[in-house]
Amino acid sequence: MAKSYRRPAVLTPTPTHYCPGCGHGIVHRLLAEAIAERGIRERTIGLAPVGCAVIAYDYLDIDMSEAPHGRTPAVATGIKRSLPDRIVISYQGDGDLAAIGTAEIVHCANRGENISVIFVNNAVYGMTNGQMAPTTLAGMVTATTPRGRNPQALEGHPIRVCELLRSLDGVAYLERVSVNKPANVHKAKKAILHAIETQEARRGFSLVEVLSPCPTYWRKAPTDAMAWIGDVMMKTFPLGVYKDWKPS
């Protein structure tokens, strides 16, 4: 008999607005389960900026705050410093975190702000019709790179956020995970739990990067998008722990 999975109380029963096959719904569930399992629902504050997850407050039954595009780490810093007993979680996409918000995430990490960041990387701007993002792969076709991203031309190379941040002394924990298959979903949840544990232990900045599908702007069927993560995307963005204050 198949195992039955109950909806965690932190996750609302709101019908999804995400496109079919989008990974945000999976990540929302994992985050909700992690908050419930750590027993921190009443003292958690989530932040979402501009992007596909801008209405994450519809799905997560916790205190939520919005932030201008890219500025979530700055807002999270203010909240955590004024309310140090709260668990502060920033939920950001690649266009938000690694483009307009590059300065905010780098300096937040460098200062060792004791917050946790869930960074959803689908390599494209999903909210505004599929333009190239900082994490768009070389050769990948987008609305603004119709011939494919060309690192030798104007577009440069994909930014690898975990690799970029791991040299900073304020960073306590960095891991890149994926939601492309059940085994990786399980690992992603463990990473989110560890990011929260890092914050509870007051160790400093933590970030979990999640490779996630965008079937709509990858122009792929949902199953093909999941396969593409493993076959192609992970070659540019290898999974693994990039820094950890608590080695296993």
Across the strands, what pairs with 124? Answer: 132
Which residue in 207, 174, 181, 194 sits closest to 91, CA to CA?
Answer: 207
Which DSSP symbol is given to 110? H
User: What integer pLDDT is reported at residue 1 of this predicted model?
Assistant: 41
Q: What share of residues in the chain are helix, strand, coil (percent, to 5)?
A: 35, 20, 45
Phi, psi of 21 (to 5 degrees): 85, -5
Q: What is the pLDDT of residues 73-107, one digit of tens each?
A: 999 999 999 999 999 999 999 989 999 999 999 99
Average pLDDT score, the chain: 94
Q: Integer distance in angstroms from the first to the last C-alpha of the chain?
A: 34
User: What integer pLDDT is reported at residue 3 of this predicted model?
Assistant: 52
Spatial separation of the C-alpha atoms in residues 181 and 164, rounded to whole Å: 26
Q: What is the pLDDT of residues 149-177, one digit of tens each?
A: 999 988 999 999 999 999 999 999 999 99
- Please report which helix (H) or strand (E) contains residue 208, including its range: strand 205-211
- Please report which helix (H) or strand (E) contains residue 221, including its range: none
Ordered structural domains, the chain, with CATH: 24-243 (3.40.50.970)
Could you give the dihedral angle defined by the CA atoms of residues 108, 111, 115 and 117, in that order, rounded to the nearest 10 degrees?
A: 40
Which residue in 116, 118, 85 sits closest to 245, CA to CA?
Answer: 116
- Per the CB < 8 A criterion, the answer to whether 93 and 53 are in contact is yes
Longest dimension (CA), the chain: 55
Spatial separation of the C-alpha atoms in residues 156 and 164, rounded to whole Å: 15
Residue 247 pLDDT level (bands cut at 50, 70, 90): confident
Spatial separation of the C-alpha atoms in residues 115 and 77, rounded to whole Å: 8
- Per the CB < 8 A criterion, the answer to whether 64 and 57 are in contact is yes
User: What integer pLDDT is reported at residue 153 of this predicted model?
Assistant: 82
Q: What is the pLDDT of residues 188-230, one digit of tens each?
A: 999 999 999 999 999 999 999 999 999 999 999 999 999 999 9
Using CB atoms within 10 Å of the CB of residue 135, give its burial: 0 to 12 exposed, 13 to 18 middle, 19+ buried. buried
- Whether the per-residue pLDDT at 242 is higher than 80: the answer is yes
% of the chain exceeding 70 in pLDDT: 98
